[in-house]
């Protein structure tokens, strides 16, 4: 059994979610608590994208059931600073919330761990907290699909040449970050990334992740891939086919500290084929969403709601006194 890690300060953990991501967030946070071994208090801050009060209570009850000490705070993001940002079907304003973390947390917090909601934690986050950030803006893991800013014909940063970036500059995944809040505040990183996103909206593909990689210009520290295992590792049948040596390959496949479901098909979707999908449901079943599965009736209900939403959007000009051309 792993020994608890003694830490003399609270661990600051931050995530963000709206109503749609409350359930996976609860599973993610339960996985954190289930594997946390430390004497340090865990301070959880959630940037709340207008969750219902009843949903917030469900999240809280789910975490309390784990019988691990924690403190939970709900933070309301300032949406006025996020206007005019590039959005898509997959990226809403909530995708930019992590840029608000340094100002949202108390000024005495100089460091924080940020986690996306489509994550399951198997390792002890206290070990991650212990790592020295140094003069880096963040500690992160290099992205598996787009490892360089010049990757895959522009799937890294499409305008990296115009930005004057070295094509060999590594591109990190922003789903797990150990953030140097002090340095972010000193250098106004959130504001700079928002400005970059607005000025380069035609090239943005990965919301604030693109902006962070552009603004940091490689000034970030690399974590072991075990702290952010992405699905690409399962595309290789052996370590010889992969960019890893034999030991790193086996560790990443068989002993990831963090599993990140970065593909578009999430584990709570019925057609997800990720090898760790069952692990997601194992933690989900520790929450008040126990037994929830993506049934045929739920899928039909979602489609009906989408159709009605589009229908109401088309009717809106009529109800506002306008005619449809």
In sequence order, the 6+-apart residues with CB closer than 8 A to the CB of 192 are: 215
- pLDDT tens digits for range 55-111: 999 999 999 999 899 999 999 988 888 887 877 666 778 888 999 999 999 999 999
Contact 114, 45 (CB under 8 A): no
- What CATH class does 11-294 carry? alpha beta
Judged against a pLDDT cut of 70, whether residue 2 lies above it is answered with no
Quick one: average pLDDT of 239-268? 94
pLDDT, position 39: 93
Greater model confidence, 251 or 158: 251
Residue ranges of the domains in the chain?
Answer: 11-294, 295-325
| Residue 144 and residue 232 in contact, taking contact as beta carbons nearer than 8 Å | yes
- 207, 144 in Cβ contact below 8 A? no
The SS3 call for residue 255 is coil
Query: Could you tell me which residue, 311 or 235, shows the higher pLDDT?
Result: 235
Q: What's the pLDDT score for residue 126?
A: 97
pLDDT at 264: 79
């Amino acid at each position: 059994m792993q020994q608890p890690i003694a830490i003399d300060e609270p661990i600051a953990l931050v995530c963000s979610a709206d109503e749609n991501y409350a359930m996976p967030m609860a599973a993610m946070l339960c996985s954190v608590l289930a594997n946390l071994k430390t004497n340090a208090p865990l301070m959880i801050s959630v940037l709340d994208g207008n969750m219902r009060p009843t949903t917030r209570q469900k999240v809280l009850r789910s975490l309390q059931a784990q019988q691990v000490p924690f403190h939970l705070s709900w933070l309301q993001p300032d949406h006025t600073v996020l206007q005019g940002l590039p959005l898509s079907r997959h990226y809403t304003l909530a995708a930019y919330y992590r840029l608000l973390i340094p100002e949202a947390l108390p000024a005495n917090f100089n460091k924080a761990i940020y986690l996306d909601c489509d994550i399951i934690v198997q390792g002890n986050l206290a070990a991650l907290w212990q790592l020295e950030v140094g003069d880096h803006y963040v500690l992160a893991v290099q992205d598996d699909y787009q490892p360089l800013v010049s990757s895959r014909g522009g799937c890294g940063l499409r305008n990296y040449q115009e930005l004057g970036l070295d094509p060999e500059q590594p591109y990190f995944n922003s789903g797990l970050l150990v953030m140097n809040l002090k340095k972010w505040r000193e250098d106004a990183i959130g504001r700079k990334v928002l400005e970059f996103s607005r000025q380069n909206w035609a090239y943005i593909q990965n919301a604030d992740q693109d902006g962070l990689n552009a603004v940091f210009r490689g000034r970030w520290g690399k974590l072991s891939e075990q702290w952010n295992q992405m699905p690409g590792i399962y595309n290789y049948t052996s370590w010889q086919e992969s960019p890893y040596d034999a030991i790193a390959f086996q560790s990443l496949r068989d002993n990831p500290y963090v599993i990140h479901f970065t593909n578009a098909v999430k584990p709570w979707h019925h057609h997800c084929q990720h090898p760790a999908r069952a692990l997601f449901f194992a933690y989900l079943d520790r929450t008040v969403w126990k037994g929830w599965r993506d049934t045929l009736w739920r899928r039909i209900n979602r489609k009906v709601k989408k159709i009605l939403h589009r229908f109401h959007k088309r009717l809106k000009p009529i109800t506002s006194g306008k005619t449809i051309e």
